[in-house]
Each structure stands twice: as structure tokens, then as C-alpha cells.
């Protein structure tokens, strides 16, 4: 038995130096142990055979452990943000020349540039706000039924994920003396049933203009100028009365389809017109809450979905593509 222990120690010493660890099972010392069984007295053969098998099992365990460690070392952590290299079947990083802006980010800058040229300051909205700015400052008294139209998300602390960028109006009005020309761009959140036209997270463009002697004509001319610059074509528009608590009077603003020029197409659902946004003259209560005297100043405001503008511009049929992270979709805008 002493010879077996000595042989095992010798085999373990050899193990580390072998390129193919399984070669240890072919070592002369190991074969010699098996060949020596015939020389062992009959009474000792069972014990001797068990000892030799134990040596083999221990060596086999060493081989298995080494191979498992090799396999684990060969597995690199997967970066889920890395693009997939179809040729190597492994994720790989792309250089910066392969990247591009998200279409909403790119078009947001286009919108901001147009309004900057029109004399507006562009600012970001908040992605978490409170009941005062979401409702009270916008002429939604507590318990007002119109609040039900703005179903959004709230935190346990009572903060609100804004359902519209109008939550910034009160801050804009209080920020300085008229004239006020500000455009707010940012994310808004709605409790929506998701489909091709509805998302729980979208982007909105809010406009606020306040000065002396401002009227509905200024509102309509501003919107027409912006939309014609954005779609690079002449447009007609029409309005119809609508109710929003923070404007009086309020309107739904529709444009002639910039793609078929009223002939009828898929984009306008063959109607020739597209109902695009809500707008109106800022309610005196909202001006007063913002520290502006409504007997001296008037103003207008509007809100339009950036996602919808971009979908129309590029013929995108499903709003969910913006949030899906599909490279096939995003690479179209490179």
C-alpha cells in the first residue's frame, strides 16, 4: 500500500506539467500498479484493487476539475448592450462611426432650431412633478372632473409623472416679465393601453407666448410657420373649438396633409386633413396664478407630440418602435 501512496504522489506531481491532463491515466506508473495485481497475495488482492481504483478516481476527479475550470475561464461575461456579430456568433463592440442619434433626439434638435430662429427659448421639462404644477396651477381645481382625462402615474410620496409638458407653464410665467417666448420639450407619461398609436411614454412640445395685445391670429400664424418649416411645404390649417381647462378659448388644430396635399393618403386616412394638436389662449386664471396681470397681458399656448410629428415625417406606422431598441429600425436613421 505504501507503494501505491508513493505512486499517487508521483502522479500528482506529473499532472501539473502535462499539456493534456488525461495523459496521466496512460502514465507508466499507473499501468504498473494495475499490472502488479497478479503478484499480490490472493488475500490482499481485494484491498489492493480498491486502492488502485481509488487512485484512478482521484486522478479522474483532478482531470474533471481542471477541465471545468478551463471551460469557465473561456466564458466571458456578456455585455447586453453590445451589438451582435453574426459572423463570429459572439457580441462585439462597434466603433463610433457605426453609431447614430436616436430619431427622436435628432428631430428634437430640428424642432428646437426652428423655434430658436423664431425667437423662442427652448427648455427641458421635468420627468417628476407635483399636483400643484400638474393641475392646480393650470386651472384644474381639486376634484375637477377634467382631471380624469389625465390618467398618469404617481409615487407613494404623491409626486406625479407628468401627463403633459404644461406642468412647466407656471414656472415659465413666474421666471420673468413679459414678453415671454418659451418652448418646453420633454417626456410625458400616460396610463395607456399600448398599440401602434399609443405609448405610455412619449415626447411633447409645449409652447408659451405672452405679451401685450396677443390674439388668436398670432397663435395660428406661429403654428403654421413652425409646421411649414418642419415639413418643408406650404400648409393650410383649420381649427375647431375644444375644451382645455388652461386655455380660453381652446381649439383643435388640423393641417392639410403635407404628403398628399388634401388628395387623400394613408397618412391622413384618406381625409386630406390631420388633426394635430390642442391649443388656445392662456386662461386668465393661469396667467394670474403665474403672477401676470391678465388685464395687461394675453398669451397663447399649445401642446403637440414630438413622436407624432416624427412618425408622420418618416411614415413610421408603429410608435412602439421608438422605445423598442430595434437596431434594424434605428439604423434607418443613421
Return the CATH number at 113: 3.30.930.10
> Contact 285/200 with Cβ under 8 angstroms?
no
Note whether 65 and 117 are same-domain residues: no
> Contact 189/162 with Cβ under 8 angstroms?
yes
Question: C-alpha cell of 180?
Answer: 415671454
Q: What is the largest CA-CA distance in the chain?
A: 120
Q: pLDDT category, 303, cuts 50, 70, 90?
A: very high
Q: Is residue 84 part of a domain?
A: no
Q: For residue 20, what is the DSSP state?
A: S
Within 10 Å of residue 246's Cβ, how many Cβ atoms? 24
| DSSP-derived 3-state class of residue 302 | strand
Range among 241-250, 258-267, 314-323 with highest mean pLDDT value: 241-250
Q: Give the Cα separation of 273 and 261 in Å (integer).
A: 9
The per-residue pLDDT for range 31-87, each reduced to its tens digit, is 777 777 777 787 777 887 788 788 778 878 887 877 777 777 666 665 655 555 555
Q: Is residue 163 part of a domain?
A: yes
Alpha helices in 176-253 (DSSP H): 216-231
User: What is the domain count for the chain?
Assistant: 2
Nearest to 261 by CA among 251, 273, 246: 273
Q: pLDDT category, 277, cuts 50, 70, 90?
A: very high
Question: Of how many residues is the chain composed?
Answer: 334
Note whether 122 and 66 are same-domain residues: no
Q: Is residue 80 part of a domain?
A: no
Average of per-residue pLDDT across 137-149: 83
Domain that holds residue 161: 103-333
Q: Is residue 97 part of a domain?
A: no
Question: C-alpha cell of 333?
Answer: 436613421
Q: Which of 22, 55, 74 is the last residue of a domain?
A: 74
Nearest to 162 by CA among 134, 122, 195, 199: 134
Within 10 Å of residue 97's Cβ, how many Cβ atoms? 7
Q: Give the Cα separation of 64 and 311 in Å (integer).
A: 58
Within 10 Å of residue 289's Cβ, how many Cβ atoms? 19
Q: What whole-number percentage of the chain has pLDDT above 70?
A: 88
Q: pLDDT category, 216, cuts 50, 70, 90?
A: very high
Q: Is residue 164 part of a domain?
A: yes
Note whether 57 and 166 are same-domain residues: no
Q: Is residue 93 part of a domain?
A: no
Q: Is residue 91 part of a domain?
A: no
Distances (CA, A) of 318 to 176, 219, 220, 307, 311: 40, 30, 29, 10, 8
The per-residue pLDDT for range 72-112, each reduced to its tens digit, is 766 666 565 555 555 555 555 556 666 678 899 999 999 99
Q: Is residue 10 part of a domain?
A: yes
Beta-sheet strand order (sheet of 237-242): 121-124, 180-189, 201-211, 298-305, 273-282, 247-256, 237-242
Q: Could you write out the DSSP letters of every residue in 243-285?
A: --TTEEEEEEEEEE-TTTTTS--TTTTTSSEEEEEEEEEEPHH
pLDDT of residue 84: 55
Note whether 48 and 192 are same-domain residues: no
Note whether 22 and 169 are same-domain residues: no
Note whether 262 and 131 are same-domain residues: yes
Note whether 158 and 38 are same-domain residues: no
Average of per-residue pLDDT across 108-135: 94
Report helix angle 216-231 to 306-314, nearest 10: 40
Q: Give the Cα separation of 180 and 136 in Å (integer).
A: 21
Note whether 165 and 27 are same-domain residues: no
Note whether 110 and 25 are same-domain residues: no
Distances (CA, A) of 163 to 86, 167, 189, 230, 243: 41, 8, 5, 25, 17
Note whether 247 and 321 are same-domain residues: yes
Average of per-residue pLDDT across 13-34: 71
Note whether 179 and 326 are same-domain residues: yes
Q: Give the Cα separation of 31 and 191 in Å (integer).
A: 75
Note whether 111 and 257 are same-domain residues: yes
Amino acid at each position: 500500500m505504501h507503494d501505491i501512496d508513493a505512486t499517487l504522489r508521483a502522479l500528482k506531481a506529473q499532472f501539473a506539467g502535462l499539456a493534456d491532463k488525461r495523459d496521466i491515466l496512460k502514465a507508466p506508473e499507473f499501468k504498473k500498479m494495475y499490472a502488479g495485481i497478479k503478484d499480490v497475495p490472493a488475500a490482499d488482492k481485494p484491498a489492493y484493487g480498491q486502492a488502485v481504483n481509488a487512485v484512478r478516481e482521484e486522478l479522474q476527479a483532478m482531470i474533471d476539475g481542471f477541465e471545468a475550470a478551463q471551460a469557465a475561464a473561456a466564458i466571458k461575461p456578456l455585455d447586453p448592450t453590445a451589438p451582435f456579430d453574426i459572423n463570429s456568433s459572439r457580441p462585439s463592440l462597434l466603433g463610433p462611426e457605426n453609431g447614430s442619434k436616436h430619431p427622436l433626439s435628432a428631430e428634437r434638435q430640428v424642432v428646437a432650431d426652428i423655434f430658436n430662429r423664431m425667437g423662442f427659448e427652448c427648455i427641458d421639462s421635468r420627468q417628476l412633478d407635483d399636483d400643484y404644477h400638474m393641475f392646480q396651477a393650470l386651472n384644474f381645481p381639486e376634484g375637477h372632473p377634467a382631471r380624469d382625462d389625465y390618467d398618469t402615474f404617481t409615487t407613494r410620496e404623491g409626486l406625479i409623472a407628468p401627463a403633459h409638458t404644461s406642468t412647466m407653464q407656471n414656472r415659465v410665467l413666474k421666471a420673468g416679465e413679459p414678453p415671454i417666448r418659451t418652448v418646453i420639450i420633454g417626456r410625458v407619461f400616460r396610463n395607456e393601453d399600448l398599440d401602434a398609436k399609443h405609448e405610455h411614454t412619449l415626447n411633447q412640445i409645449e409652447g408659451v407666448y405672452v405679451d401685450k395685445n396677443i390674439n388668436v391670429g398670432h397663435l395660428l400664424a406661429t403654428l403654421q410657420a413652425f409646421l411649414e418649416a418642419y415639413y418643408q411645404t406650404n400648409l393650410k390649417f383649420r381649427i375647431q373649438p375644444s375644451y382645455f381647462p388652461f386655455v380660453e378659448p381652446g381649439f383643435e388644430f388640423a393641417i392639410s396633409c403635407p404628403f398628399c396635399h388634401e388628395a387623400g393618403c394613408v397618412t391622413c386616412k384618406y381625409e386630406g386633413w390631420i388633426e394635430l394638436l390642442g391649443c388656445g389662449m392662456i386662461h386668465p386664471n393661469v396667467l394670474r396664478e403665474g403672477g401676470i396681470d391678465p388685464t395687461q397681458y394675453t398669451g397663447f399656448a399649445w401642446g403637440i407630440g414630438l413622436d407624432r410629428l416624427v412618425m408622420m415625417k418618416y411614415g413610421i406606422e408603429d410608435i412602439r418602435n421608438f422605445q423598442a431598441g430595434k437596431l434594424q429600425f434605428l439604423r434607418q436613421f443613421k
